[in-house]
Every structure is written in C-alpha cells, then in structure tokens.
C-alpha cells in the first residue's frame, strides 16, 4: 500500500517508525539553534559584580544598580560599552559568628559563594555591616582606599579604617586548640560608610553599612565610578 493511500493514523505511525532517528536529529538541531539564539538575544555584558552581605537593598537603590550601565557617567568613562551592559548583584549572603542568629545556618554557603566569586574575579564591590566588612578586611580581601577618591571630599569624609591580618596561625589553632592564637595586623582604610545614604538596610537594626572594593578586581574604574555616582545620586 502506498503512503498516500494509508489512513492518517497509519501514515503518522509509518513516518515515526521509519524516520524516528532523522526526526530526532532535526528536533535536536532546531532546539540547539533556538537555544543559541535565545542566549545571544538575552546575553548581558557584566561590567561590575557586587554582593550584599548582612544587608538588603532599598528598591529605589535597586533601580540605581539597574540604570548605572546606561548612565551618562558610565558611558563617558566607557564609550565603547555595549547597550547590554549590566551590574550583577548577589543578595542574601550572611557572615556572622552569632550562633543564635536566624541567618547563621546560611553562613557556610555564603562563605563558599564569596570565596568562589573572589577566586574567579567575579566580585568587585561588597556592601555589608561592620561584622561582614571586618571579615573581608581581616582576610585581606579589601583594597586600601587611600588616594583612590582623592579630590572627592564627600567620599573622603566617609572613609573608614579596618584591621588587616597580614599573617596569623589560625591553621595551627584549628589543628590544636591548646596553641595560642597570634597575628600580625595593621590598620588600613578599607571601606566607606554609606549608612547615611539610606540605600541599604542592615538585617540587625542599628548597624552601620559600609562599602568596600575587592583587592583583586580588574574593574577598578567601573567600581570607582559606581561608588562616586552612588554618592552623587543619594546625597
């Protein structure tokens, strides 16, 4: 019997039986083609990576994060930037030594994510409370800010010093609790007090909020421009 003489149901069954592999390959090809097209159409060029630690963001400030890559300030600094530029913001990260805290169970996962981001050079700015910033500064993750905002009187008035651990014996202490802890530290300007900008809300009421730049960032110009714009937009 010819294919044209078969009932519709038998035609479909015949095609599926004899052309199953061909149809599968065509469907797979179309899926891959559509996926590549979708990825290209929705692709974003990340110009800055930020993280919020122990704080959450005001909705008005979220719009500032979204709009910054399209701002005049950004395009004056990076005229070659594409229209798909965006700021990546990681939220709901927690660093606390308080075992009674509601957020203590998230500390381990947060620490892993932060360390992985720094190692991959996908973290440029961190915004957090005093405990979070002390943790970053103590590990040498924050860039010294002396001279970075020279001439910007407003930001220079908000610079804050932190204790940086140059070396310590924390591994020995972990291996033997009888070993006394000791460290070599120094004070450096490692963060900016952004509490008065009313852009971020600490999870612990009454805490101050700070901004720091990660030491190994390769997007320093964008981080500096973003910080200056933040103070200009939220005086």
Single pTM value for the model:
0.76
User: What pLDDT, on the 0 to 100 scale, is given for residue 235?
Assistant: 61
Mind spelling out the 3-state secondary structure of the chain? CCHHHCCHHHHHHHHHHHHHHHHHHHHHHHHHHHHHHHHHHHCCEEEEEEEEECEEECHHHHHHHHHHHHCHHHHHHCCCCCCCEEEEEEEEECCCCCCCCCCHHHHHHHHHHHHHHHHCCCCCEEEECHHHHHHHHHCCCECCCCCCCCCCHHHHHCEEEEEEEEEECHHHHHHCCCCCCCEEEEEEEEEEECHHHCCEEECCCCCCCEEEEECCCCCHHHHHHHHHHHHHHCC
Would you state the pLDDT for residue 200? 92
Q: Is the pLDDT of residue 59 over 80?
A: yes
pLDDT for 14 equals 65
Q: Which of 170, 100, 159 is CA-nearest to residue 135? A: 170
Q: Any idea which of 83-87, 169-173, 196-200 has the lowest mean pLDDT?
A: 169-173
Specify the pLDDT at position 33. Answer: 82
Residue pair 55/13 in contact (Cβ under 8 Å)? The answer is no
pLDDT at 184 exceeding the cut of 70: yes
State the angle between helix axes of 59-67 and 220-233 in degrees (0 to 180), rounded to the nearest 10.
Answer: 140
Stretch 30-39: mean pLDDT, rounded? 77
The residue with greater pLDDT, 24 or 228, is 228
How high is the pLDDT of residue 31?
84
Residue 4, pLDDT > 80, answer no
pLDDT band for 123, please (50, 70, 90 cuts). Answer: very high
Instruction: Please determine, looking at this structure, whether the domain spanning 45-233 carries the CATH number 1.10.287.70.
Output: no
Q: What is the pLDDT of residues 63-120, one digit of tens each?
A: 888 888 888 878 787 777 666 788 899 999 999 888 888 888 999 999 999 999 999 9
Condensed to tens digits (0 to 9), the pLDDT of residues 202-218 reads 998 889 999 999 999 99
Q: Give the CA distances from residue 13 to residues 17, 18, 24, 26, 46, in Å, rounded to whole numbers and listed in that order.
A: 6, 9, 15, 18, 49
Question: What percent of the chain is predicted at pLDDT more than 70?
Answer: 86
| pLDDT for 171 beyond 90 | no
Domain ranges of the chain: 3-40, 45-233
Q: Which pLDDT belongs to residue 159?
A: 94
């Amino acid at each position: 019997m010819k294919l044209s003489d078969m009932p519709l149901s038998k035609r479909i069954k015949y095609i599926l039986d004899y052309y199953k592999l061909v149809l599968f390959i065509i469907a797979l090809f179309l899926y891959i083609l559509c996926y590549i097209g979708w990825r290209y159409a929705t692709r974003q060029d990340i110009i800055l990576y930020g993280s919020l630690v122990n704080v959450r963001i005001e909705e008005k400030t979220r719009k500032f994060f979204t709009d910054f890559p399209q701002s005049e300030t950004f395009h004056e600094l990076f005229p070659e930037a594409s229209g798909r530029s965006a700021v990546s913001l990681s939220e709901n990260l927690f660093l606390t030594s308080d075992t009674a805290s509601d957020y203590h169970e998230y500390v381990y996962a947060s620490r892993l994510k932060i360390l992985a981001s720094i190692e991959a050079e996908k973290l440029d700015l961190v915004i957090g409370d005093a405990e979070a910033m002390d943790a970053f500064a103590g590990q040498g993750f924050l860039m010294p800010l002396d001279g970075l905002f020279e001439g910007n009187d407003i930001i220079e008035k908000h610079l804050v010093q932190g204790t940086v651990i140059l070396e310590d014996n924390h591994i020995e202490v972990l291996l033997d609790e009888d070993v006394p802890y000791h460290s070599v530290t120094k004070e450096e300007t490692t963060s900016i007090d952004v509490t008065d900008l009313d852009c971020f809300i600490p999870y612990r009421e009454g805490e101050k909020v700070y901004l720091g730049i990660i030491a190994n960032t390769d997007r320093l110009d964008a981080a500096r421009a973003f910080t200056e714009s933040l103070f200009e937009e939220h005086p």
